[in-house]
Structure 1
Amino acid sequence: MISAPLTRDTWPIATCMHGFAAVGRDGTRLHDAPPETWDAMFAQIENLGFTAVEIADSHIRPSELTPERRGLLKQIATSHSVELTSVHVQRQSVIEPGRGEENLAHAHAEIDAAAELGMRVFSTGLHQPFSEAQRRALWFWTAPGPVDPDDEDTRALAVRRLRELGSHAASVGLPMALEMYEDTYLGTADSAVRLIEEIDLDNVGLNPDIGNLVRLHRPIDDWREMHEKTLPYAVYWHVKNYARDEAGDGSWFTSVPTSMELGLINYREVVARAIELGFRGPFLMEQYGGDSLGVCATNRDYLRTLLPASA
């Protein structure tokens, strides 16, 4: 977490990488792209007024870059006045059947890379790769995906492996944020809080991304109650919003991405509450569909109006 005094102008607000293709038109992965491609990406980020970015390992895996390429990534970002705020290891659960140990090793490597690059936080979760149905769907959250088993032994394994990662992160001076995500042990407010308490490390907290739950085409818990339970544990925060509607009799549900200001979650309310509870971590602007980067910039400007002059 950040201890220095913060203002609405200095609070770290990063953009996600959803607006950039993980694989170029010529088939080259962004991870392997030439410096010119990276430079163009950071130029776009800078041109929209962002001073920070989250590196998603779906796009670039810092631990798998050569030391020279890692240095180049930071050098290019710095030339555009963009900070590498975090690395987010996604869809590589430490309890994924058949791949848990491999994913654990990858997460350890990304923690070391994040520390080397001077990042503020290491971010991960328990969500797994998309199911075939999710890959076919227009919006992946409308189709069923993997589900963590209702099994105490598996949950205990998740706790042990996440505690191991948290201890590693602490040893290099990083907080570790666990992202809330449906059908995982981080899929409800109660289960997520219980998991943090079971891990029981001061540097391990939540990424209370309630937007991941608001968008589901199924019954959900009240967004106010979910925030009230999870915000005391927040160390990093992916923020996004969805317009949601549902039938009074529970016969149908629908959601689509929208801006932070217009969606179901009242961020004016929950941001004020988070700060009241002591949240001082970075924000990450996230958006699916359309001009993701542009909407993230709009959301950033809105968020600045919600932040205090000092905190």
Structure 2
Amino acid sequence: MALTAETWPIAASLLPFTAERLADGEPDAQALRRWQRVFDAVVDAGFDAVDLTDTWTAFGDLTPVQTDAMRESLAQSGLTPASLSVIRRSVTDELDGEENLAYSHRCIDLAADWGVGVVSVGLHRPLTAEQRQQLWFWTVAGHRDPYDDPATWELAVRRFRELGRHAADVGVLLSLEMYEHTYLGTADSAVRLVEDIGMDVVGLNPDFGNLIRLHEPIEDWREIARQTLPYANYWHVKNYTRDEDAVTGAVTSSPTYLESGLIDYRSALQCAIEAGFQGVICTEHYGGDGLSMSAANRDYLRDRILPRRAYDPPPSRVRQQFPQSAGAAR
């Protein structure tokens, strides 16, 4: 059944919330209250769906007791866990790649157990010390994947294919997040990676915001959209203002509302829907009151951008299934 503005699953990212430090054993009353406050804040902002963003809680590291407690806290809030985002745990990391792969498998299992339809993974690494010292971390270059190293490329293909097989076995989608200076950092490379993996359960999370904020020359977002949106099965949406001084070469960027930045999301959503996109949308924002900004962006999408009437979507190049609960009417 085709989605409409009323039924489209739009999830709040948990990026704005302070990271939870997990301890072994049963969560104490204070931890339970913190979890509940976060979920209640998301509900109070008008969301009925949430992205399980693992910068807030390492969901793949929850003990069985913690898993039950977290799931109960979610149920009490009335939120639907629509997606799970695995952040900065590259499966090709020279030191932690195998553990990141194992962690991603655990996240897929949790997603299947909780009825979460899509798990987003990527190749971006932890922030460097220099990046953490900046106001905006993207103003300083971090890790770069070795584009001239076939062995590392094949490692990424092999490990994502392994995760894809697991996802397919348990009925979950796997989405690869586009991110600067990785094999998912340009339109051509991201599409090639998905095609080399060659599984309809594996698609793209076309987070162009990660690319257009860079203080360096960038691809035209329209060309990124044209190439990648046919492969989208999940989508982190955010926007940035961008100014380029042709004389000095200076570039500035700053987070802003979806409707105000460089990316025209009216055109981007139309392009995605025409390509068959019917996936979960997650609203993200850095800085300020990120949750309120995410809520404003949700309202922009629902009230002015997403289709009012259902129609049969065209066939997609990747699978577009998601939990029935995630698409339920508000």
Q: Tell me the TM-score normalised to structure 1 length.
A: 0.94
Give 2:150's match in structure 1, choosing from 149, 152, 155: 152
- Superposition deviation, residue 36 in structure 1: 1.2
Distance 2:23 2:181 in 1: 30
- Alignment partner of 1:182 is 2:194: no
| Distance in 2, Cα, partners of 1:284 & 1:250 | 36
2:62 to 60, 65, 69: 65
Deviation of 1:78 after TM superposition, in Å, equals 2.1
Q: Report deviation, 1:34.
A: 1.7
Amino acid at match of 2:307: P
Deviations 1:110-161 (A, max 9, x none): 1111111110101110001111111111100001101111211110111000
Contact kept, 8 Å, 1:219 with 1:250, in 2: the verdict is no
| Residue 61 of structure 1, CA deviation | 2.3
Partner in structure 1 of residue 77 of structure 2: 80
Aligned to 2:305: 306
**Structure 1 residue 251, shift from structure 2 partner:** 1.1
Report % sequence identity.
Answer: 50
Aligned counterparts of 1:41 and 1:30: Cα–Cα separation in 2? 18
Whether the aligned pair in 2 keeps the contact of 1:186 and 1:192 (CA below 8 Å) is yes
1:127 alignment partner in structure 2: 124
Alignment of 1:1-311 (within 5 A): 4-23=1-20, 28=21, 34-150=31-147, 151-249=149-247, 251-304=249-302, 305-309=304-308, 310-311=310-311
CA contact (8 A) 2:243 2:253 kept: yes
Query: 1 CA distance for matches of 2:204 and 2:236?
Result: 10
Inter-partner Cα distance in structure 2 for 1:163 and 1:298: 36
- The SS at the match of 2:168 is helix
Letter in 1 for 2:276: G
Counterpart AA for 2:242? R
Q: CA RMSD in A?
A: 1.5
1:215-260 deviation digits (Å, cap 9, x = unpaired): 0000001010100100000000000000000012461111000000
Deviation per residue, 1:32-78 (Å, 9 max, x gap):
66211111111111111101111122221233222232222222222
Question: Could you list the runs of 5+ residues in structure 2 that have no partner in the other structure?
Answer: 312-330
CA distance in 1, matches of 2:140, 2:2: 43
Letter of the aligned partner of 1:16 in structure 2? S
- Secondary structure of the structure 1 residue equivalent to 2:240: strand
CA distance in 2, matches of 1:43, 1:202: 36
Distance 1:249 1:111 in 2: 49
Name whichever of 214-223 and 66-75 sits farther off.
66-75
Count of residue correspondences: 304
Q: C-alpha displacement at 1:267, in angstroms?
A: 0.3
* Contact 2:50–2:81 under 8 Å retained in 1: yes
Tell me if the contact between 1:74 and 1:84 (Cα under 8 Å) persists in the aligned partners. no
Distance 1:11 1:210 in 2: 20
Q: Answer whether contact 2:45 2:295 (CA < 8 A) is retained.
A: yes
Query: Any conservation in 2 of the 1:21–1:30 contact (CA below 8 Å)?
Result: no
TM-score by length of 2: 0.89
Q: Please tell me whether the aligned partners of residues 211 and 218 of structure 2 are also in contact (alpha carbons under 8 angstroms).
A: yes
C-alpha contact (below 8 Å) 1:257/1:289 kept by paired residues: yes
The answer to which of 196-205 and 50-59 deviates more is 50-59
- The structural deviation recorded for 1:9 is 1.0
SS in 1 for 2:35: helix
